[in-house]
């Protein structure tokens, strides 16, 4: 056995292994995305039973082995129980975890993604903001954290400050009226949607989920986020097809 280390993180997925164990994927602040075996965690009296479920957020003590970690103990501060009683919310939650897993790598600083997950899972349980909008905000902000940062404040070509313009996913941002000829596949974008994108890209995390949009603006935003994601994210998410099946 190697040494025991303590990490702060969240369980992104948990797969049964053998008769009583689970293989966990954890996103941690200190070590990025790691795999940890939770031995005996499917036994009813195991102290690892509750911490070995998706969404469990807290501190995990793990032994560092040669190829994987072994979970020793955990202190969970958030289980998101109310999430698991709401079928739609929990499906959104699983999609958020799968998308975070897509970007997770070992030895990255997972802190920013963890903080985003934390506020997003709270927002999805909050009825003041539509789940569909929470999803768009999360998708765009997660891409920003991972370096897919759209330029939505200034025209990419002439640097003029923008309040509306032409959004080009392929070119990675927006163009002004004068430069729209350079915006390959540029989508004419209203002031409200431009402002929403600027807000999502730059707002402090604790204020990220404090606005709502009209249906029309949300639809415009959804088209832009979806096209942007198609350009930069090379994966079909299984949980997204489940989500589409239960919400449409
Ligand atoms: Zn311009």
Global pTM value: 0.95
What phi, psi does 180 have (nearest 5°)? -60, -20
> Rounded to the nearest whole angstrom, what is the distance from the C-alpha of residue 184 to the centroid of ligand 1?
13
Euclidean distance between CA atoms 54 and 57, whole angstroms: 9
Please tell me the predicted confidence (pLDDT) of residue 1.
Answer: 57
> Does an H or E element contain 175, and which?
strand 173-175
pLDDT tens-digit profile of 62-121? Answer: 999 888 899 999 999 988 877 878 899 999 999 999 999 999 988 888 999 999 999 999
Cross-strand bridge partners of residue 7: 60
pLDDT tens-digit profile of 15-65? Answer: 999 999 999 999 999 999 999 999 999 999 999 999 999 999 999 999 998
> Rounded to the nearest whole angstrom, what is the distance from the C-alpha of residue 182 to the centroid of ligand 1?
9
Euclidean distance between CA atoms 130 and 133, whole angstroms: 5
Tell me the domains of the chain and their CATH numbers. 4-79 (2.40.50.140), 82-247 (1.20.1440.120)
Residue 66, number of CB atoms within 10 A of its CB: 5
Sign of CA dihedral 227, 231, 233, 238: positive
> Rounded to the nearest whole angstrom, what is the distance from the C-alpha of residue 7 to the centroid of ligand 1?
46
Euclidean distance between CA atoms 110 and 96, whole angstroms: 15
> Rounded to the nearest whole angstrom, what is the distance from the C-alpha of residue 227 to the centroid of ligand 1?
21
> Rounded to the nearest whole angstrom, what is the distance from the C-alpha of residue 164 to the centroid of ligand 1?
11
CB 46 within 8 A of CB 40: yes
> Rounded to the nearest whole angstrom, what is the distance from the C-alpha of residue 154 to the centroid of ligand 1?
8
């Amino acid at each position: 056995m190697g040494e025991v280390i303590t990490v702060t993180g969240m369980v992104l997925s948990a797969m049964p292994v053998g008769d009583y164990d689970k293989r966990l994927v954890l996103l941690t602040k200190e070590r990025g995305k790691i795999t940890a075996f939770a031995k005996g965690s499917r036994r009813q009296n195991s102290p690892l039973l509750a911490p070995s479920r998706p969404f469990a957020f807290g501190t995990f003590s793990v032994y560092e082995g040669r190829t994987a970690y072994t979970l020793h103990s955990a202190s969970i501060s958030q289980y998101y129980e109310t999430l698991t009683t709401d079928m739609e919310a929990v499906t959104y939650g699983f999609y958020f975890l799968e998308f975070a897993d897509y970007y997770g790598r070992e030895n990255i600083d997972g802190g920013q993604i963890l903080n985003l997950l934390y506020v997003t899972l709270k927002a999805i349980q909050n009825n003041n903001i539509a789940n569909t909008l929470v999803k768009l905000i999360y998708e765009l902000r997660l891409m920003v954290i991972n370096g897919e940062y759209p330029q939505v404040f200034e025209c990419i070509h002439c640097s003029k400050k923008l309040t509306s313009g032409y959004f080009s996913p392929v070119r990675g941002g927006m163009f002004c009226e004068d430069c729209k000829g350079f915006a390959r596949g540029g989508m004419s974008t209203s002031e409200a949607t431009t402002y929403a994108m600027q807000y999502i890209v730059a707002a402090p995390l604790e204020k990220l989920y404090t606005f709502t949009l009209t249906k029309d603006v949300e639809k415009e935003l959804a088209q832009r986020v979806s096209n942007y994601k198609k350009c930069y994210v090379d994966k079909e998410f299984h949980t997204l097809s489940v989500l589409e099946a239960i919400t449409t």
